Amino acid sequence: MIKMLLNGCNGKMGKVISQMAKDSATISIVAGVDRDSSNLDYPCYDSILKCKVDVDVILDFSRPDALDSLCTYSKEKNIPIVFCTTGFSPEQLSRIDSLSKEIPVFHSANMSIGINIVNNLLKNISKMLYKDFDIEIIEKHHNQKVDAPSGTALLLANTIKDSINDDMFYVKGRDGSSKRQPKEIGIHAIRGGNIIGDHEVIFAGKGECIEIKHTAISRDVFAIGSLKACEFIYGKDKGLYNMDDVVNMSL
């Protein structure tokens, strides 16, 4: 049984993961980190640096400001870590990359298997379509989400941009009275209610439109992917891994 520490255990995703892990045959949550330690089946600390429990892997579903303590703890203890948090700054992403040169690190903007299959599709079709189709991305999330555009929207946009040889650029939202430029990739963020997560990629051409959409019906999809990531990274050598590795392993 893989012993997991869950950082952000009392957040929305933390609660879903805690419940789902109870039915896991491979993973057991042995410790958590959060400000609220009530109603848990395992010990909870207000700082990961105070944790004395022996763990095999760390799963982080919290906020970017927890990165420093997570890096310090995982490096000192030589424990693999899975980052599911979004909204990291470029400097923080660089630190995650540096950490992966010393321990196994898993980082993905979205833990859904479905989203990552969509992402793989975009690698193949974007380079075929971009000359004749305008590309727009629309993402929708609940009104408590703090980062915009979502990490998933940026994941999809970066995949599209990296697969195209021309110098494409992002337009986040659209305002003013100028025409759309051919090399734009539009990214639009909608926040409202309790929308779990919708992502739509639109290829709009002359006389036809291709739409690829993923809808998260429940947070279970992210919990399932997170637990799969923990299973995947356990026992791996140092390096930077992501959901592509999990998806490709399943194919």
12 annotated among ligand-binding-site residues: yes
153 annotated among ligand-binding-site residues: no
72 annotated among ligand-binding-site residues: no
At residue 57, what are phi and psi to the nearest 5 degrees? Answer: -155, 150
Whether 217 contacts 81, CB under 8 Å: no
Which strand (E) or helix (H) includes residue 17? helix 12-21
8 annotated among ligand-binding-site residues: yes
193 annotated among ligand-binding-site residues: no
44 annotated among ligand-binding-site residues: no
108 annotated among ligand-binding-site residues: yes
60 annotated among ligand-binding-site residues: no
Distance CA 113, CA 229 (A): 10
Distance CA 111, CA 221 (A): 8
35 annotated among ligand-binding-site residues: yes
Single-letter amino acid code for the residue at 87: G
Q: Which residues are catalytic?
A: 141, 145
32 annotated among ligand-binding-site residues: no
Exposure b/e, 30-43, CB count within 10 A at least 16 = b: bbbbbeeeeebebe
Distance CA 249, CA 176 (A): 46
Q: In angstroms, how far is CA 136 from the centroid of its own chain? A: 20
Q: Which residues are annotated as a binding site for (S)-2,3,4,5-tetrahydrodipicolinate?
A: 142, 151-152
Annotated binding site: 8-13, 34-35, 84-86, 108-111, 142, 151-152
Binding-site residues from annotation for NADP(+): 35
